[in-house]
Amino acid sequence: MSLRDYRDFAPLTERISKAIQTGRLSHAYIIEGDSCIDKVKFAKDMIKAALCIQDPGWGCDMCPVCRKIDHDNYEDLYMVSSDDRSVKDASVAELQEKLKSRPTGGNSNIAVIDHADLMTLRAQNRLLKTLEEPNPGTLILLLAENTENLLPTITSRCIIYRLGNYAAKDSTADLTLPRKIMDMVAEHAYFCEFKDKLTKEIKDRQAAFQLLDGLERLLFLYLRGEEPGNVRKEKIAEHVRYVEEARRDLIAGVNYKYAIRNLILKIGG
């Protein structure tokens, strides 16, 4: 996928493309967006745009470099992710050793840290040195849902791109469960009914994050009058606050089942 295909992000992708074409690409970026946004895919397409020879600044999807990145076998691209709770110091230390090596496929070593906002404090402090003194050609992309969980010393050394509350036009199915939950709230369902429904639908932390994103989008639609709902306007802001509290709990490592059930107790009470 070329950066040109991100039409909903056109102002951002045009800025990125111009930076690449004029040789002004920074060494470190934070790409922030909700869990429903495929930030890893966006990061790969940004990397393709930076390295593509046939269509620099956008990516051609056809050259050997673009194809290798798409198939996760580009020699100088290193991916780091969380273990579902945090990104550990050891993972960042291993990444730093890899970034010290000479690139073999091109002129740049590239690192992508998914769920960077889940890095431990020690891991963030370790990464800081690499951000302060990167080897020539190094490109580091930190993917996050909430940059507030990153140290100010990290964010101050990165350019931050916010992908926004984008949802594909055919993604209405993403709101199926949030709609059901809010209908149950309106019907004053018993907690055991909520529990049974959530147990069937929410199997892991990622699904919990997606529910929170969906609830926020649905509440926003209620507020704008674009979706019928039985929630008073003065209650919407309160519900959004509860959703954000649950999100902070998840990011802090609270068990996802507890965080979601606690949320339901608040909005359903």
- On the question of pLDDT at 59 being above 90, the answer is yes
Handedness of CA 149, 153, 154, 160 (dihedral sign): positive
- As a whole number, mean pLDDT of residues 35-42 equals 86
Q: With H, G, I as helix, E, B as strand and everything else as coil, classify residue 32.
A: strand
- On the question of pLDDT at 169 being above 60, the answer is no
Which one has a higher pLDDT value, 63 or 230? Answer: 63
Closest residue by Cα to residue 102 from 126, 138, 66: 138
Handedness of CA 51, 54, 60, 63 (dihedral sign): negative
- On the question of pLDDT at 211 being above 70, the answer is yes
User: What's residue 106's pLDDT?
Assistant: 84
By DSSP bridging, strand 110-113 and strand 159-162 are: unpaired
Residue 77 dihedral angles phi and psi, to the nearest 5°: -105, 120
Closest residue by Cα to residue 126 from 94, 161, 168: 94
Tokens of 223: 């507020």
Q: What's the DSSP call for residue 119?
A: B
- On the question of pLDDT at 191 being above 50, the answer is yes
- As a whole number, mean pLDDT of residues 119-127 equals 95
CB-facing half-sphere around the CA of 131: CA atoms within 13 A? 24
Residues 241 and 267: their CA atoms lie apart, in Å, by 10
E strand or H helix at 77, and its extent?
strand 77-80
- On the question of pLDDT at 184 being above 80, the answer is yes
- On the question of pLDDT at 171 being above 50, the answer is no
Question: Looking at this protein, which amino acid is placed at residue 235?
Answer: K
Q: Please report, to the nearest 10 degrees, the dihedral formed by the alpha carbons of residues 207, 213, 216, 221 taken in order.
A: -110
Beta-sheet strand order (sheet of 139-144): 77-80, 110-113, 139-144, 28-32, 159-162
User: What's residue 84's pLDDT?
Assistant: 65
Q: With H, G, I as helix, E, B as strand and everything else as coil, classify residue 165.
A: coil
Q: Give, in degrees to the nearest 5, the angle at Cα 45 between 43 and 49.
A: 115
List, for residues 194-210, the tens digit of each pLDDT value: 999 999 999 888 889 88
